[in-house]
Amino acid sequence: MIKLSEREKMSLGEPYNQFDPELIQRRKMMRKQLQEINQIDDNEERNQRFMALLGDAGDDFFVESDFKFDYGFNIHIGDHFYGNYDLTLLDTCPITIGDHCYFGPDVGLYTPVHPLDAEQRNADVEMGAPITIGNSCWFGGRVTVLPGVTLGDEVVVGAGSVVTKSFPDKVVIAGNPARVIKEL
C-alpha cells in the first residue's frame, strides 16, 4: 500500500495533518512572498510574480493587490482572468477557474472543510473539497464560494452572495445562500 504525503491527502480532500512540516513551510513561504509581491506597483512585474507561485495560469492574467492564498500549487486559472482587490483563494484542495473570468473586489473561494463534530474539530481534523468555476463567469464584489462548489459556464454571481452549492451553465445567482434569479 502506497503511503500518501500530507500534501497529497490534503489535495485529495482526505483528512490530513495541517501541522505537517512541509505544509507549514509552504504556508510561511507564501505569506512572505505575497507580502512582498502585493507591494509591487508595476502591474506586469507583480502579476508575473503571482503567476510563478500558482499551479498554472493562462494568458492575460491580472490580479490587483492584495492577493492571498495558502499554497498556490492547487490554483489553476485559465486565460483572460481578472481579479480585483483583496482576492482570497484558500487552496487546500484544487481551485480551477476557466477562461474569461472576472472577479470583483473582496471575492473569496474557500476549499477547507472543518468537521461539524466538535470532537473532530478539537482534534484538528482538517479536510477540503475542490472548487471549479467554468468559463466566462463574472462575480460581483464580496462573493464567497464554499468548498465543493462547481459553477458552469457563463454564470453571473451577484455582489455579496454566498455560494453554498453547485449551479449549471448560464444562470444569474444571488443571495445568501445563492439561488437562481435568472436564466440566461
Query: Is 100 considered catalytic here?
Result: no
Q: Does residue 48 have a pLDDT over 90?
A: yes
Q: pTM to 2 decimals?
A: 0.96
- pLDDT tens for 96-153 read 999 999 999 999 999 999 889 999 889 888 999 999 999 999 999 999 999 999 999 9
Strands (E), 19-134: 56-57, 61-63, 68-69, 75-77, 81-83, 88-90, 95-97, 102-103, 108-110, 112-113, 127-128, 131-133
Q: From the candidates 76, 80, 100, 114, which is the catalytic residue?
A: 114
**What is the arithmetic mean of pLDDT over 2-11?**
95
Q: Does residue 180 have a pLDDT over 90?
A: yes
